[in-house]
Amino acid sequence: MTDITIFHNTRCSKSRATLALIEDKTDNLTIVDYLKNPPTLAELSNIIALLGFTSARQLMRTGEAVYKELQLSEEQDEKQLLQAMLDNPKLIERPIVLANGKAKIGRPPESVLTIL
């Protein structure tokens, strides 16, 4: 069976629901608490590419207070957007599931089933 990784936030109901769906399907699961262990720049860039996003902003939680505090809505530099997510992992949308060379955001949680 394929190895599956979930970038998970235990305080998020969608993340918990996605994790429960995956746990029913596999034992080959790596759970990454991305708030405590944020992805590297390379991992984050890879996730964005696997999701088919054209901008780091598409992976950002734009409703977070830190997004507004850092005035990221005005930022156009992709490197700065990536750095903001690395410095403030709370900005990263969740949950993210990696499986079979693909990535999916678990919103809704069932959407990740398409890559398992």
Whether 74 sits among the annotated catalytic residues: the reply is: no
Each residue of 46-98: pLDDT tens digit? 999 999 999 999 999 999 999 999 999 999 999 999 999 999 999 999 999 99
Confidence label for 24 from pLDDT (cuts 50, 70 and 90): confident
Tell me the whole-structure pTM to 2 decimals: 0.94
Of 11, 12, 68, 82, catalytic: 12
For CA atoms 3, 47, 105, 30, the dihedral sign is positive
